[in-house]
Amino acid sequence: MRDLTLEDIDWRRESITVRRAKRGNTQQFPLQGEVGDAIVLYLQKMRPRCSCRNVFVTLHPPYRPVLGHSMSSIIGPRLKRLGIASEHFGPHILRHACATQLLRTGTSLKDIADFLGHSDLRSVSNYVKFDSHSLTKVAEFSLRGVL
């Protein structure tokens, strides 16, 4: 998301375009109201007025796109302040959390891989952590009366 440009947000169609670094393709996603509202608030109140077309820019001149290490220094401390326990605190933890939530809601591994921009299902295993509570529920499921 650090490479997101102002042109990637289509406010009329309520969609957002994501460019995938590894595969070089783009994906379009619906722009959820709460996410759109947060972006508008950021653009109006926080983002410096500048010629840089990236949505996320540095807060001090010279204004330029926010780099990966900067994202880590922003996201990490906030996650720690929220009391989130993890071995890693960089932006990638958000991908892990997203993949885990998609799995919990019953999304297939193929759909999770597509959503994350992976062409190989094995890549998803790096992000998806199985929830032991959910696995216990699956293990306890009885087929009695179904067959």
| pLDDT tens readout for residues 50-88 | 999 999 999 899 999 988 777 788 778 888 888 877 777
Say yes or no: 55 and 77 in one domain. no
pTM of the model: 0.68
Query: Which residue from 56, 65, 60, 20 is spatially nearest to 38, judged by alpha carbons?
Result: 56
Say yes or no: 108 and 132 in one domain. yes
Q: Are 46 and 68 in contact (CB under 8 A)?
A: no
Say yes or no: 121 and 55 in one domain. no
Count CB neighbours of 15 within 10 A: 13
Say yes or no: 80 and 130 in one domain. yes
Q: What angle do CA 16, 12, 7 make, to 5 degrees?
A: 45
Q: Are 99 and 112 in contact (CB under 8 A)?
A: yes
Confidence of residue 31 (pLDDT cuts 50, 70, 90): very high
Say yes or no: 76 and 147 in one domain. yes
Residue-number span of the structural domain to which 48 is assigned: 1-66
Please give the pLDDT value at position 63: 94
CA distances, 23 to each of 12, 29, 49, 65, 118 (Å):
27, 17, 32, 21, 8
Say yes or no: 75 and 140 in one domain. yes
Say yes or no: 62 and 75 in one domain. no
Most confident range (mean pLDDT) of 46-50, 56-60, 139-143 is: 46-50
Q: Are 71 and 90 in contact (CB under 8 A)?
A: yes
Based on the structure, what is the number of domains in the chain?
2
